[in-house]
Amino acid sequence: MKLVFAGTPEVAVPALDALIASDRHEVAAVVTRPDAPAGRGRRLVASPVAERAAEAGIEVLKPAKPRDEEFLARLREIGPDCCPVVAYGALLPKVALDVPARGWVNLHFSLLPAWRGAAPVQHAVLAGDEITGASTFLIEQGLDSGPVYGTVTEEVRATDTSGDLLTRLAFAGSGLLVATMDGIEDGSLKAVPQPADGVTLAPKLTVEDAQVDWAAPALRVDRVVRGCTPAPGAWTVFRGERLKLIQAALVPDRTDLAPGELSPAKNNVYVGSGSHAVELLWVQPQGKKPMRGADWARGVRIAPGERVGAGDVG
């Protein structure tokens, strides 16, 4: 089939690479979000998908909105049979959905109908799911509600961050997307409507969602840290400043600390929670680079009984 691929971030690149490598399909063009400011200089930078497409000599379309008439005219001119999508980042209007004869097919990083929305992997980690996966489905006007072509499963490991899990799903999902294109092309694959039961939503996480509640059980604290890494980044308050929490570990045999109470040791620093202690392995103080928790604790000289999570950010 002639394809127009839509995607934007790094996580979409493995799927684009897999489609480019396929000998059954032609990636005629790529649709991606417009260049965005990045870095200290805030200069405009092309998306990872745009950069990869340019390297491969593929035409790149960057509409401000996918309903822009100039973009729609070019899409019609290309005449794709199907448009595979991975984390494009904009809602597709019906006028765009109607262009390819075989529709737009999204690779979504959950086992639908679970975790429909912008942050399925983060919510799977936050919820403590043991198994997640990826699904390919035909895009319709509803939120991730279209009929499903195929799925692949992936175990959620006890130490997985959202970044770890998403990286594995991006590669596993790329194979699923190519297989879906193959099945659509030869007629061997039919989309199956999603069940009405089991629908859960995965809205984008906010900075407020990523603040650790030390009164919660340690298991919940651990899930927030892992689920919010790398973005938006779990955090707490220490002496009126934000302290980013990059990696933590459960310490079930330490139950003597109050929620948020810090306990530094020679090579460790522990925090109390609503159940048992959590060890802070890696943290990032405001305005500084990531560092080991024990090194941070030595530098700030924690007073007896001092806590994290108390007070507002100054």
91 marked as binding residue: no
Neighbour tally for 161: CB within 10 Å:
21
Helices (H), 158-314: 162-186, 218-227, 293-300
Question: Would you say 301 and 310 are in contact if contact means Cβ atoms under 8 Å apart?
Answer: no
- Smallest CA-to-CA distance from 224 within 242, 241, 245 is with 245
Nearest CA to 11 among 185, 134, 153, 96? 134
Angle at 295 between CA 289 and CA 299, to 5 degrees: 90
- Is 61 marked as binding a ligand? no
List the one residue out of 190, 173, 189, 188 whose CA is nearest residue 85: 173
Residue 259, marked binder = no
E-strand stretches of 35-124 = 36-38, 43-45, 59-61, 83-86, 104-108
- Which token pair is 101? 């004869």
Q: How big is the CA angle at 133 (ends 81 and 17), to the nearest 5 degrees? A: 45
The distance of Cα 122 from the centroid of its chain, to the nearest Å, equals 6
Whether residue 3 contacts residue 181, with contact meaning beta carbons closer than 8 Å, is answered with yes
Task: Output DSSP code: residue 246.
Answer: E
Q: Is 257 annotated as a binding residue?
A: no
**Residues comprising the binding site for (6S)-5,6,7,8-tetrahydrofolate?**
110-113
What residues are designated binding site? 110-113
